[in-house]
Amino acid sequence: MPGAGKRQRLTLRIAAIPMGLLALSCLYPIFFAVNNALKTRHDYMLDRFGLATQPTLDNFVQAWTRAHLDEYFLNSVIATLGAVILLMVVSSMAGFALASLRFPYRRFLFAVILSSLMIPVQVVLVPFMRTMLALNLVNTHIGLILSYTAFFLPFSVYMMTAFYSGLPRELIEAARIDGASLLQVWWHVMLPLGTPALVTLAILNTLSCWNDILISLLVMQKHRTLMVGISALKGQYSDQIPLFTAGIVIAAAPIVVLYILFQRRIVSGIAVGAVKG
């Protein structure tokens, strides 16, 4: 604040010291993981705090091949990509219908979708598993994709409905007069116009799907996702910390890259999400 008093400025300067330490603590875990992943097991035993003086990529190779992270990584990519695309399509369609079309029980259906926000996966865990078994979806990528979509859908629908409500209705009417079917209006008009909201949704849903453990632990018992694989790695290689931290780095890398590229979008998207989440 400009023009703040002298004492206030001094207080703020003093406050900056613990705040700076807190900021360092936020960055340290990633440094810790990368630094130790670059050490050999022997080097780690000798000096667990020092910098990796003779960095080796051997742990990454080992984690990727011997610990099957390559396979888990692929499973996570398939599930995340599939769910994010499905979430964008389904929530854009639903948002278009709820914001722009008039049909009976519109408000009621919107309320039904939003109220399911109050049903977290833990609350329906038993019947959810039975549904998955009955539909033969356990241990399938499709099953995981559908589960992610179902559990991350309400907020996405809410956001697309809010976004589309802000668009002028004349856009749709003009396209309708030109003879476009509703499907054409959605595909050629609404989907492209929704891009800004859809990109934000894609980023936020990528974070949620990639980071998930509970749903993937339930659905993918045979074909592990990366997070399930990493949590199992801990038991398997508990005496091989450098290998374990290499696995952590592999699992965190896509999210860290996403954060660096889209920090602004993530922050503003989550702020919107928090206020109506």
Partner 1 sequence: MLFLLPAILLVLVFRIFPLFWGFGISLTSATSTDPGQFIGAGNYLRALDDPNFRSAMANAVVVLLSVPIFVTIPMLLAILIHQGVPGRTFFRSVYFFPAILSSVIIGSIFSVVLSFNGNLNALLGIAGISGVDWLGHSATALPVTLAIQCWSTFGMGVLIFLAGLSTVSKEMVEAARLDGAKMWQIWWHVIIPELRPIIEFSTVITTIGLLTSMFGLIYVLTGGGPGTATTVPEYLIWAAQGKLNRPAYAAAVSMVLFFMTSILAWLQIRILSRNANI
128 contacts: CB under 8 Å, gap ≥ 6: 121, 147, 218
167 contacts: CB under 8 Å, gap ≥ 6: 99, 100, 193
Identify which of residues 198 and 252 has a Cβ nearer to partner 1 in the complex: 252
Identify which of residues 177 and 274 has a Cβ nearer to partner 1 in the complex: 274
Nearest to 69 by CA among 40, 37, 43: 37
> Which region, left, alpha or beta, applies to residue 105 given φ > 0 means left and ψ of -120 to 50 means alpha?
left
Identify which of residues 78 and 93 has a Cβ nearer to partner 1 in the complex: 93
Least spacing, CB of residue 103 vs partner 1, in Å:
5
Least spacing, CB of residue 81 vs partner 1, in Å:
17
- Please, is 247 exposed, middle or buried when counting C-beta atoms within 10 Å of its C-beta (0-12, 13-18, 19+)? buried
Q: At what angle do helices 226-236 and 69-100 cross, to 10 degrees?
A: 150
Identify which of residues 4 and 51 has a Cβ nearer to partner 1 in the complex: 4
- Please, is 159 exposed, middle or buried when counting C-beta atoms within 10 Å of its C-beta (0-12, 13-18, 19+)? buried
Identify which of residues 165 and 263 has a Cβ nearer to partner 1 in the complex: 263
How far, in Å, are 40, 64, 121 from residue 276 at the CA level? 47, 39, 19
Identify which of residues 14 and 61 has a Cβ nearer to partner 1 in the complex: 14
Structure-token pair, residue 175: 């396209």
Least spacing, CB of residue 15 vs partner 1, in Å:
5
Annotate 185-220 with b (16+ C-beta within 10 A) or e (fewer).
bbeebbbebbeebbebbbbbbbbbbbebeebbebbb
Least spacing, CB of residue 245 vs partner 1, in Å:
7
Least spacing, CB of residue 195 vs partner 1, in Å:
18
Identify which of residues 48 and 66 has a Cβ nearer to partner 1 in the complex: 48
Least spacing, CB of residue 48 vs partner 1, in Å:
6
Least spacing, CB of residue 178 vs partner 1, in Å:
19
> How far is the C-alpha of 155 from the C-alpha of 87, rounded, in Å?
10
